[in-house]
């Protein structure tokens, strides 16, 4: 079974993220975007008892949640499919996914999702900025 310790060790080895453990099952990854001027935070929550891993990325600030911003979130939900896009209470872009883990799953499947989430946060950034600032 995948543990948070295995994920933390693999992330440190594979990615240029700083890691912290604010809670027992929670791993926080942080770094500045290589392409844009914002900080990406990715939370990984491993629930071994219920056999799932939740991965949530915090992207850029969305500003006022206008109809255009909400429409863009809907379009991104359709385009990226596997990830769910929404805004939190602080009007920050959230991108999340949850996967079920079984005995045969490896930490590398989780790492692949972290890499994809990292890419998606940067990939959607220009579209979000264009809608916010016109």
Distance between CA 125 and CA 37 in Å, rounded? 10
Distance between CA 37 and CA 30 in Å, rounded? 14
Distance between CA 123 and CA 121 in Å, rounded? 6
pLDDT digits (tens, 9 = 90+) for 54-105: 999 998 899 899 999 999 999 999 999 889 999 999 999 999 999 888 766 7
**Sheet of strand 18-23: strand arrangement:** 18-23, 26-32, 39-47, 52-61, 92-100, 84-87
Closest CA to 27 of 50, 56, 52: 56
CATH number at 83 reads: 3.30.1460.10
Q: How many domains does the chain have?
A: 1
Tell me 67's DSSP state: H
pLDDT digits (tens, 9 = 90+) for 24-60: 667 888 988 888 888 889 999 888 777 888 999 998 8
Question: Residue 18 sits in which domain range?
Answer: 4-133
């Amino acid at each position: 079974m995948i543990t948070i310790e295995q994920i933390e060790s693999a992330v440190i080895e594979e990615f240029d993220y700083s890691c912290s453990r604010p809670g027992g099952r929670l791993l926080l990854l942080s770094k500045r975007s290589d392409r844009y001027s914002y900080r990406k935070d990715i939370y990984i929550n491993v629930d071994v008892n219920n056999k799932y891993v939740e991965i949530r990325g915090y992207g850029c600030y969305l500003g006022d949640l206008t109809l255009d911003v909400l429409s863009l979130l809907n379009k991104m939900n359709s385009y990226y499919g596997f990830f769910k896009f929404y805004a939190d209470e602080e009007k920050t872009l959230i991108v999340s996914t949850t996967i079920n883990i079984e005995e045969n799953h490896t930490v590398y499947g989780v790492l692949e999702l972290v890499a994809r989430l990292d890419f998606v946060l940067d990939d959607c950034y220009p579209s979000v900025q264009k809608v916010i600032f016109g």
